[in-house]
Amino acid sequence: MKKDGLKFKIADTMEGNDAAVQFSTLKDNYDVILVACSSFGDGYPPSGYEDFLKELYKARDKTFDQDPPLDGMQHAVLGFGSTIYETFQNNPRLTDKLLEECGSRRFAKRGECDDAGDDSDKTIATWEKEVFAALQDPSKMVLGSAPACKYDEPAGTIQDKDVGQGAVAKGNNEMANYMMYLLVIFVVALAIWYQKTKDAVSA
């Protein structure tokens, strides 16, 4: 739906693995990255997102001896999952945490949809509203300012997943397969025009 007076423009949409290919240039091409993702099997990333998570791990480890690879970017994450699994929201939470550790600023609290509940539509609507409001308000998108919240809000239980050897859980439960089938993993990158906000902030 078109809205008048937008202060941002959607530049690209891409699958996680496609975003991984251009990971090193993301901050040069985009200001904001929105990630919608789920977990697969025992809390691992789905196969279409595995490479992006690998890049986040590699980039996080490199920040010890060089500038953060996503420094200057801002992000928000929307997670999908079901509380019937112990690894509920593992990949979305891990992604949110790693993005920050790679230098990106969290500008909106992560949305956590629960397929086992009845509030997913409300969760998505709330997340969309908060993200849109922030993107429309330059005062909420100031680089270098404190993040909108910590990564562990609304919850922070995480199981670290080593995907360096291509370990993607195959998962035999129906819900994992169902979610992978329905939830195509997109990284939506938005190029933001604040009506010269960056110039105003630096002035």
- Partners of 38 in beta bridges: 80
Cα distances from 8 to residues 58, 87, 189, in angstroms, run: 30, 35, 11
Region 191-201: mean pLDDT is 35
Query: What pLDDT sits at residue 63?
Result: 64
- Partners of 33 in beta bridges: 75, 189
Q: To the nearest whole number, what is the mean pLDDT of the chain?
A: 78
Q: What is the pLDDT of residues 2-19, one digit of tens each?
A: 345 677 888 888 889 999
- Would residue 44 be called left, alpha or beta, if left means φ above 0 and alpha means ψ between -120 and 50 degrees? beta
Spatial contact of 179 and 38, defined as CB atoms under 8 Å apart: yes
pLDDT at 154 over 50: yes
Confidence of residue 75 (pLDDT cuts 50, 70, 90): very high
Q: In percent, how much of the chain has pLDDT > 90?
A: 52
Confidence of residue 25 (pLDDT cuts 50, 70, 90): very high
Q: In percent, how much of the chain has pLDDT > 70?
A: 75
